[in-house]
Amino acid sequence: MAKTNYGLIIGLTIAATLGGLLFGYDTAVISGTTEAIKANFVTPWHLSEGWANMLHGFAVACALLGCVIGALLAGPISTRIGRKWGLLIAGVLFFVSSVGAAYPEFFWSIFGAVHEKALPPFILYRLMGGTAIGMASMLAPMYISEMAPTNIRGMLLTFEQIAIVVGINLVYFVNFWIQSGHDSSFLFDVGWRHMLASAAIPATLLIIAMLLVPETPRFLVLKDRNDEALSLLKRLFGNGEAEKTHAQIKETLVEHTRPLLSYGWTVVLVGIVLSVFQQLVGINAVLYFAPHMFENMGSTPNEALSQSAWFVGVSMTLFTLVATFTVEKLGRKPLLFWGAVVMAVAMILLGFLFHLHMVNATGSAGAAAGGSSYVAIGAVVVYIIGFSFSWGPIVWVLLAEIYPNSIKGQAMSIGVAAQWIANYIVSQTFPMMDGSSALNAAFNHGFAYWLYGVCSVGAAVFVWKYVPETKGKSLEEIESVWHLHRKGNN
- Full pLDDT tens readout for the chain, 490 residues: 458 889 999 999 999 999 989 888 887 788 788 889 998 898 888 888 888 888 887 888 788 889 889 988 998 898 899 999 999 999 999 999 999 999 998 877 666 667 778 899 999 999 999 999 999 988 998 899 888 887 888 888 888 878 887 887 788 789 888 988 888 889 899 999 999 999 999 999 999 999 999 999 988 988 889 899 899 999 988 887 888 888 877 766 554 566 766 677 788 899 999 999 999 998 877 766 666 667 766 666 677 767 766 777 778 788 888 888 888 888 889 999 999 999 999 999 988 888 877 665 444 434 334 455 678 778 888 999 999 999 988 998 888 888 877 777 788 889 888 988 898 888 778 878 877 788 888 888 788 889 999 999 999 999 999 888 878 777 667 776 665 555 555 4
* DSSP classification of residue 31: G
CA 142 to chain centroid: 14
**Boundaries of every domain in the chain:** 6-213+257-489
Per the CB < 8 A criterion, the answer to whether 267 and 478 are in contact is no
CB atoms within 10 A of CB 23: 26
What is the distance between the alpha carbons of residues 31 and 88, in angstroms, rounded to a whole number? 26
Q: What's residue 112's pLDDT?
A: 65
What is the distance between the alpha carbons of residues 31 and 312, in angstroms, rounded to a whole number? 12
Please, what is the Cα angle at 66 between 61 and 71, to 5 degrees? 125
Per the CB < 8 A criterion, the answer to whether 194 and 352 are in contact is no
Per the CB < 8 A criterion, the answer to whether 323 and 410 are in contact is no
| Four-residue CA torsion sign, 131, 128, 205, 192 | negative
Q: Which helix (H) or strand (E) holds 127?
A: helix 119-147
What is the distance between the alpha carbons of residues 335 and 154, in angstroms, rounded to a whole number? 12
Q: What's residue 485's pLDDT?
A: 53
How many angstroms separate the Cα of 309 from the Cα of each of 30, 146, 151, 313? 13, 33, 34, 5
Q: What's residue 369's pLDDT?
A: 42
How many angstroms separate the Cα of 181 from the Cα of each of 64, 88, 173, 302? 32, 37, 14, 9
Q: Looking at the domain covering 6-213+257-489, what would its CATH class be? A: mainly alpha
Long-range contact list for 428-434, CB < 8 A, 24+ apart? 428/54, 428/57, 428/58, 428/61, 428/64, 429/57, 430/57, 430/282, 430/285, 430/288, 430/289, 431/53, 431/56, 431/57, 431/60, 431/289, 432/50, 432/53, 432/54, 432/57, 434/289, 434/292, 434/296
CA 404 to chain centroid: 23
Q: What's residue 363's pLDDT?
A: 42
**Longest CA–CA separation in the chain, Å:** 73
As a whole number of Å, the CA-based R_g of the chain is 23
Which stretches of 389-474 are DSSP H helices? 391-401, 408-434, 437-443, 447-466
HSE, side-chain direction, 13 A CA sphere, residue 488: 7
What is the distance between the alpha carbons of residues 323 and 148, in angstroms, rounded to a whole number? 17
| Closest CA relative to residue 146, chosen from 259, 266, 51, 229 | 229
Per the CB < 8 A criterion, the answer to whether 387 and 312 are in contact is no
E strands along 83-199, which residues? none
Per the CB < 8 A criterion, the answer to whether 60 and 30 are in contact is yes
Long-range contact list for 114-119, CB < 8 A, 24+ apart? 115/40, 115/44, 116/40, 116/41, 116/42, 116/44, 116/45, 118/41, 119/41, 119/59
